[in-house]
């Protein structure tokens, strides 16, 4: 599998480290009532067949964290965007 790193160009998957679901959002509340949100954030993950956005670090290259969207059924990689840039967008 090849991943188009926005900084380094296209590189083979061996240079990357996968973390998981990039759509989860870290809760901001520290109130006990928010515990369910925290549990979901830390533990609850979907396992879709189809498009999936994941945090991936280019650990064997520029070390940037990316959000890579790929199809889990076909292994087709649709996009790879720096996590920093992704987050900066509203």
Partner 1 sequence: MLRTSALQSVAIQGRFGADKGQPGLMLSVVHPLAIAMVIARKGKSKVLKDALATLKSVNVLWAGPDQYYVQSTVKSETALYIELKTKLANIASVTDQSHGRVTIRISGPKARAVLAKGTPIDLYTEEFPVGKSALTQMAHVGVHLTRTGNDEFTLSVFRGFSESFWEWLTSQSAEFGYQVG
Partner 2 sequence: MSGFRIARGGLIDRSANLNFKFDGKSFTGHQGDTLASALIANGVHLMGRSFKYHRPRGVISAGASEPNALVELREGARREANTRATIVELYDGLTAQSQNRWPSLENDFLAINSLASSIFVAGFYYKTFMWPKSFWEKIYEPLIRKAAGLGTASKEADPDTYEKAYAHCDLLVIGSGPSGLMAARTAARSGARVILADEGSALGGSLLFENEEIDGTTGSTFAQAVISELASMPNVTLMPRTTIFGWFDGNIFGGLERVNDHVAVPPPFEPRQRYWRVHAKRAVLAAGAEERPLVFGGNDVPGVMLASAMRHYANRYGAAAGKSISVFTNNASAQRTAVDLQAHGINIAAVVDTRKNGKIINVKGGKSVKSVSLADGSHFECDAVAMSGGWSPIVNLMCHRGAKPIWNETIAAFTPPDMGSQFTAIGSASGKMLLSECLRGGIAAGTFKGKTPPTPKCRDEAFAIQPFWWVKESTGKAFIDYQNDATAKDLPLANREGYGHVELAKRYTTTGMATDQGKLGNVNAIAILAEAAGKSISEMGTTTFRPMYTPVSFGAFAGPFTGHHFQPVRKTPLHEWCVEQGAVFVETGLWMRSSWFPKAGEDWLTSASREVKATRANVGLCDVSTLGKIDIQGKDAGTFLDKIYCNTFSTLSIGKARYGLMLREDGVVFDDGTTSRLADDHYLMTTTTANAARVMSHIEFCHQALWPEMDVQYVSVTEQWAQMAIAGPKSRATLQKIVDSFTLNDETTPYLVAKDITILGGLTARLFRISFSGEHAYELAVPADHGNMVARAIMQAGQEFGIVPYGVEALSIMRIEKGHVAGGELNGTTTAGDLGLGKMMSTKKDFIGRMMATREGMVDAARQCVVGIKPVDKTMKIRSGGHLLNQNDKPSMANDQGYICSVAWSPMLNMWLGLALLSNGRARHGEVVKVFDGLRGHHYLGEICDPVHFDPKNERLHA
Other beta carbons less than 10 A from residue 56's beta carbon: 24
10 Å Cβ neighbour count for 52?
A: 19
In whole angstroms, how close is the CB of 22 to partner 2 at the nearest point?
A: 8
**Using CB under 8 A, which of 17, 21, 54, 60 touches partner 2?**
17
Least distance in Å: CB of 10 to partner 2? 8
Nearer Cβ to partner 1, position 49 or 89?
89
**Quick one: tokens of 60?**
């064997």
* Binding region for partner 1 (CB under 8 A): 7-9, 11-12, 14-15, 60-64, 82
Closest CA to 11 of 75, 55, 72, 58: 58
């Amino acid at each position: 599998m090849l991943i188009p790193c926005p900084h380094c160009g296209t590189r083979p998957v061996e240079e990357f480290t996968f973390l998981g679901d990039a759509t989860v959002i870290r809760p901001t509340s520290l109130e006990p009532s928010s515990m369910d949100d925290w549990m979901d954030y830390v533990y609850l993950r979907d396992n879709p067949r189809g498009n999936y956005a994941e945090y991936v670090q280019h650990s064997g290259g520029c070390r940037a964290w990316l959000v890579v969207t790929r199809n889990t059924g076909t292994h087709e990689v649709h996009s790879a965007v720096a996590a920093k840039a992704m987050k900066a967008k509203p």
